[in-house]
Chains A and B, each alone.
Chain A
Amino acid sequence: MAAEYYRLSKDKVAELFERARADYDVVAKTRDANGNLVYGRPVSFDDVAFVDEQPPMSAKAFALPQTETLVRYEQEGDKIRADGSEAPARDVLLFGVNMCDAAAFDIVDRVFKWDYLDDPYLGRRARATQFALACAAVQRDCFCDRISYGEDGVDAVAYELEGAYLVKVRTEKGRALVERYENLFAVEDGDAERSIKTFKEKAGTVKKEPMLESAKPALEKAFEHADWEILASTCIGCGICTYVCPTCHCFDIQDEGGSSRGRRLRTWDHCTGRTFTATAAEQPRDRQYKRYRQRLLHKFWYYPERFGPLLCTGCGRCITYCPVKINIKELVEYFGGLKDTPPGGARHGK
């Protein structure tokens, strides 16, 4: 679908939120008990933070919840009944989601559609519409300007101008959103792409070379590089980077309950964890640096090799919240031949 452009004046945003609540399960940024910005379900616009600030957790849980039931089972006499989980009851509107979060869905969709259709994930995706809010300034550690994605897979994106938002619609779902509340949106008649370009220049989010996709050829030769051990051994193997990340999707399947009643569930898991590939017999990634290497290469080599895009939108949360501040962008640049020195200085001399 060709892009369409609309204008939403700032004083209409609250009304859009209130009216949308009647038709959608609206997810928007709000504050949690500890004051963190979080994607939640505020009931009043007073509790909505319609800002470009990046919440610590991405919006990924709305397609892939941290814990979800795949199968409910119950013994009935000498038979066992097994049922799948329920599809979402309402359409969901992700209201004011960051671009790095919104664009992630299209990237992750590819693996969940690969030959086998993952119905729990795809069922949620089919019911979700994104109304993203573009960043007017870079976030703390982000590097979206070094990754090639744009607005293409996102339903609608709002760019803040003077007194109004310029809304770029890219999909049928985005258009359906605008049409539903059409008296709030005016068709944009100016040079919309120029306004967007000016916005991005001011924000500092214009794409810059070298793009990180270009690291792949060197990464393909870097598996045995001598510096992985000394650079990645400070990784503590927690799940923070994986869980805050909008594109990480690795999961575990576990049973909970007894033999006669319970559920088989899916939970987030992290490849940086020690037990991820450990079995009773073997442990192919027996050192922590090998586990970190897996995460980096999966995102910047293996995933693009199979599916096209990088498994990363450059949000930078993995750097911000990492307990040891490992910087995936710097490491990709180093192992990917885009930079001579690794983060923290050369470890094995010149």
Chain B
Amino acid sequence: MGNNSERLYVPRLARVTAVVEETPTIKTFRLAFEDGPRPDFKCGQFGEFGIFGVGEATFCFASPPDREYVEITVKNVGKVTRAFHNLNEGDVITFRGPYGNSFPYDDFKGKKLLFIGGGIGQAPLRGLLWNCLENRADFEQVDLIYAAREECELVYERELVEFEARDDISVTLALDPVCPGEPIPGWRGRTSFVPPILEEERPSAEGRVVVTCGPPIMIKLVAKSLLEKLDYAPGQVWTTLEMKMKCGLGKCGRCNIGSVYVCKDGPVFNYEQILSFPREF
């Protein structure tokens, strides 16, 4: 558990081996651990990644667990993420983790998986998505709906193109409408919010698991659509919640929703659990 069983808060160190600029405000960092094997994590878990002198922040593992490296995808929004965006190859960062729970991968086997990502919310889904594609025979169907506000906010563009070319996954890309009813010039995908796409395509609930992540408003509207209009049971809809965190391991008292600690009981939850939470996220 954790990184250093004797000194809980002393981090491991990792070196940046590659930086990919996904969008003007989003970068993916590939990390290598030189002091030992890389952390053994499961899809859905997160770590506290930091830069000495600046601070730590919570990022989910964005790469699948069977790679030698670890990848995180960071949006430049605050003090720590801005410092991450100034990192170069060879720079050293701090790491504590892996923390949190993970997607119940074994329970998803044999099901039809529908991934719904919004903007940077695609990052926690990516590891699981690759895992599923690499064990494609375990799943009956794999579909991806990936939406963003603008084209420049889509991440992992190079992989999306790869997915679109495959015949074992269907990909629907969507951008928010700018002017209602008008398509966006030069855009190859749909121009729509996600709920109307769902209500039009009507993916059947039978034998399906939905895994979604994005801005809270998107998660709520997608869930509303699935549960109220498409007959999904709340237990079929899975997501990962993001709350401000500091310790990441259940002590600093910051990330709770009611008596649920997002860093310990989550961040992966299904909607049956979420419906029982106090309305506080």
A and B, direct touch (CB closer than 8 Å): yes
| Residues on A facing B (Cβ under 8 Å) | 70-71, 73, 80, 82-84, 111-112, 114-120, 223-224, 249-255, 257-260, 262, 264, 266, 269, 271, 276-282, 284-285, 290, 297-298, 301-303, 305-306
Determine if A115 and B264 form an interchain contact, defined as CB atoms under 8 angstroms apart.
Answer: yes
Of B11, B244, B256, B281, the contact of A302 (CB 8 Å cutoff)? B256
A305 to B53, CA, bound (A): 37
Q: List 28 A-B contacts (CB under 8 A).
A: A70-B10, A80-B13, A82-B10, A82-B11, A82-B94, A84-B9, A84-B10, A111-B251, A114-B264, A116-B2, A117-B8, A119-B6, A223-B278, A223-B279, A223-B280, A224-B279, A250-B253, A251-B251, A252-B252, A253-B9, A255-B54, A259-B54, A264-B9, A271-B254, A284-B281, A290-B280, A298-B256, A306-B259
Is B247 in the interface zone, CB < 8 Å from A? yes
Q: Could you say which residues of chain A place their CB within 8 Å of the CB of B258?
A: 223, 297, 301-302
What residues make up the interface of B, taking CB atoms closer than 8 Å to A?
A: 1-2, 6-11, 13, 50-56, 77-78, 92, 94, 215-216, 242-244, 246-247, 249-254, 256-259, 261, 264, 278-281
Pick the contact of A114: B56, B250, B278 (CB < 8 A): B250
Residues in B with CB closer than 8 Å to A277 are 243-244, 254
How many Å lie between the Cα of A211 and that of B1 in the bound state? 38
CB–CB B54/A119 < 8 A: no
Which of B9, B10, B78 has the most CB atoms of chain A within a 10 A radius of its CB?
B9
Residues of B within 8 A of A290 (CB): 280
Residues of A within 8 Å of B259, CB to CB, are 301-303, 305-306
Give chain B residues whose Cβ lies under 8 Å from the Cβ of A301: 258-259
For residue A260, which residues in chain B have a CB less than 8 angstroms away from its CB?
Answer: 53
Cross-chain contact of B252 among A120, A250, A278 (Cβ < 8 A): A250
Top 9 nearest A-B pairs (CB, nearest first) are: A250-B253, A84-B7, A302-B259, A280-B77, A70-B9, A259-B53, A223-B278, A305-B259, A280-B78
The complex places the Cα of A117 from the Cα of B6 at a distance, in Å, of: 8
Whether A258 touches B1, Cβ cut-off 8 Å, given contacts A70-B10, A253-B246, is no
Minimal beta-carbon separation of B57 from chain A (angstroms): 10
Q: Which residues of A are found within 8 Å of B244, using beta-carbon distances?
A: 276-279
Chain A residue contacts of B1, Cβ below 8 A = 115-116
Within 8 Å by CB of B56, from A120, A251, A253, A269, lies A253
Complex alpha-carbon distance, A193 and B57, angstroms: 53
Chain B residues near A269 (CB, 8 Å)? 252, 254
Contacts of A84 in B (CB 8 A): 6-7, 9-10
Is A257 within 8 A of B78, CB to CB?
no
Question: How far is B247's CA from A125's CA once the two chains are assembled, in angstroms?
Answer: 20
Return chain A residues, CB-CB under 8 Å to B52.
73, 80, 82, 255, 257, 259, 262, 264
